[in-house]
Structure 1
Amino acid sequence: MPSPREYIQKVLDRNPFTPLWQAVFSYLKREIITLKLPPGEKLMESRIALELEVSRSPVRRAVEQLVMEGLVETHDGKPQVSTITKKDLQHLAFARFEIDGESAGLAAKRIMKEDLSAMENLLGQFETFHGEEPFYRFAIIDDKFHAIIYKSCGNPYLQSMYAVIRPSLLRYRYYSMTVYPDKEDMLRNTYVCHGAIFHALKNHLSHCAKVEAQQDASRMAETIAVIPNMVNYDIFKTLDNSAIDL
């Protein structure tokens, strides 16, 4: 697993014009979403700067952006990773239910063949996924599947609303898919629900796509009800998140 500084260098090597603060932001965002930086963790600029071998200025700018995205909150002016409470997740589930359905209904009318092909490929990955694989990969597949729907809906306002909740939603997916008590049940239900959405989109059934997407989103409330209230976040510190590229 590459070191934090190696990750930063990889981002900069990929695009030399990337501002340093964005590379730092990308690194911290990945650490927060994959819960290596757990909810409530204090973010000390000096410690992060030392770890990443950068000055405090790009760290400060990256943290400000994380606050804007809702992944970091401040208490008495001191930043810390945003908490995950069931109430927060319920608010997230409500927002997702509303915009997922509308976006899928619109996407069914205009989705392109290449996007359907990409969704079918992801659906195949859902089908063949098994419990022995790292569950963060499942979260990424799920995220990519829904991103295609929003891309295809063609409504910039729905796309903007999704962009706001997407970081928190991805963190929820990573969190829930790791701690959910019956993983095989989650795998099976996710594949069935996403298959129904895909077939509605493929056949351009707008109302059906909307209903299926809302039914999939409604499963989030059921998941929230059964995931543990207390989680030992130490289990996430040993997971390899190097394949996750945000």
Structure 2
Amino acid sequence: MAKLGYDESDNLVNSLRGRVFNKLRKQILTGAYKPGDSLIELRLSEELGVSRTPIREAIRQLELEGLVTSIPNKGAVVKGVTDQDVEDIFTIRTMIEGLAARWAAEKITEEEIVELKEALEFEEFFTIKNDAEHLMKYDSRFHDIIFRACKSRPLMHMLSTFHHYIQNARNNSFETPGRPAKALDEHRAIFEAISRKDGETAEKLTVEHIRNASRIFHQKHQK
């Protein structure tokens, strides 16, 4: 059997490192690993069935993203996402996610419009079924399609990262009575604006959608 060439083998390593990073980031952002928890390379290596090298690289990337910090004689410790981080992300999203919706309205393809409509239909189905897990999946897909349709890689990457970071806040938002149905109505209006290529309205509706989610977060965290 022929050995893998350098490029192929490098791609495999990068792919493995990426999967480990995504797994650990998800566990931190969903609260499986809480602030103050230690990320022990040997234990993670055994749990994930990989060598310590991709674990070490993933932890280094998590540190660059500010989700973990290295403490002398203790190793990598989870920092997680604070309430202030979430507030900051909501504020930034109100400034740039509307732009993504405007650009999506201008650049979206017919295939992406079909995808967006399908995500909306699934969101409606799971809203009626009161199935929070699947509802969140298609709510995220709705936004992801818009990010992709805006045809801006920097904007898409930034907004996708933000969505990961506020996953818990978004989950909590959907536990608020009446919010899933209201969010669905907001998505319907955004879809209609994008599908008729009305960038100005799509931007305005998206900003209002994010502000509504932000208000719910503030209400839940008021003392």
Mapping 1:1-246, distance limit 5 Å: 18-19=12-13, 20-70=16-66, 72-77=67-72, 78-130=75-127, 134-177=131-174, 180-182=175-177, 185-227=178-220
Separation (CA, whole Å) in 1 of partners of 2:172 and 2:54? 28
- Tell me the secondary structure at the aligned position of residue 227 of structure 1: helix
Separation (CA, whole Å) in 2 of partners of 1:96 and 1:141? 19
Summarize deviations over 1:178-224 as a string: whole Å, max 9, x none: xx342xx1211110110010000011111100000101111122121
Compute the TM-score of the two structures, normalised by the length of structure 1: 0.75
In the alignment, which residue of structure 1 is the partner of 2:5?
Answer: none
Question: Given residue 74 of structure 1, which amino acid in structure 2 is its aligned partner?
Answer: T
CA 1:205–1:150: 2 relative to 1, 3 Å: same
- Tell me the secondary structure at the aligned position of residue 38 of structure 1: coil
Structure 2 unpaired stretches of 5+: 1-9
Separation (CA, whole Å) in 1 of partners of 2:108 and 2:48? 42
Separation (CA, whole Å) in 2 of partners of 1:132 and 1:84? 31
Report the RMSD for the aligned CA atoms in angstroms: 2.7
Question: Given residue 68 of structure 2, which amino acid in structure 1 is its aligned partner?
Answer: E
CA 1:80–1:132: 2 relative to 1, 3 Å: farther
Question: Given residue 59 of structure 1, which amino acid in structure 2 is its aligned partner?
Answer: I
Summarize deviations over 1:141-175 as a string: whole Å, max 9, x none: 12211111121112333224324424213353245
CA 1:23–1:37: 2 relative to 1, 3 Å: same
Report the CA distance between 1:88 and its aligned residue. 1.5
- Tell me the secondary structure at the aligned position of residue 53 of structure 2: helix
Compute the TM-score of the two structures, normalised by the length of structure 2: 0.82
* Counterpart contact for 2:28–2:80, Cα < 8 Å: no
Question: Given residue 155 of structure 1, which amino acid in structure 2 is its aligned partner?
Answer: S
Greater helix share, structure number: 2
Question: Given residue 91 of structure 2, which amino acid in structure 1 is its aligned partner?
Answer: F
Report the CA distance between 1:59 and its aligned residue. 0.9
* Counterpart contact for 1:33–1:167, Cα < 8 Å: yes
Rg comparison, structure with higher value: 2
Report the CA distance between 1:123 and its aligned residue. 0.8
CA 1:36–1:229: 2 relative to 1, 3 Å: farther
